[in-house]
Amino acid sequence: MRGVGVAAAEFNHRNAVRLEIADPALRARPLSATLRSDNMEGCVRRLEADFGITASRPQAGVIALRARRCADGRRTRRRGPSHGKFRGRESL
């Protein structure tokens, strides 16, 4: 199982659009999923839907990732089960 920081680095190596981790606590959060590095928008939607992550686009070519927060400021947890491995175009 890899962390969100490792997955972001893999995506950044393979794409022109950069994933930035704006929430330092998110960098080490475990990430266990099958994600395609050639489908950035699909991956971002999956992170938002299944892993309690919020994405914003502060400028062209950059997607900033943050841990989703509850109304009281606490970080939310992952919403649903998701199992597998992080994968790029080829198995990593």
* CATH assignment at residue 17: 3.55.50
Say which residue, 88 or 30, is predicted with more confidence: 30
Query: Domain for residue 46, yes or no?
Result: yes
Q: Structurally, how many domains does the chain consist of?
A: 1
Whether the per-residue pLDDT at 78 is higher than 80: the answer is: no
Query: Domain for residue 26, yes or no?
Result: yes
Query: Domain for residue 40, yes or no?
Result: yes
Return the CA Rg of the chain. Answer: 12
Whether the per-residue pLDDT at 29 is higher than 70: the answer is: yes
Whole-model pTM?
Answer: 0.72
Whether the per-residue pLDDT at 90 is higher than 80: the answer is: no
Whether the per-residue pLDDT at 55 is higher than 70: the answer is: yes
pLDDT of residue 77: 55
Query: Domain for residue 88, yes or no?
Result: no
Domain assignment of residue 27, given as a range: 2-67
Query: Domain for residue 73, yes or no?
Result: no
pLDDT of residue 24: 87
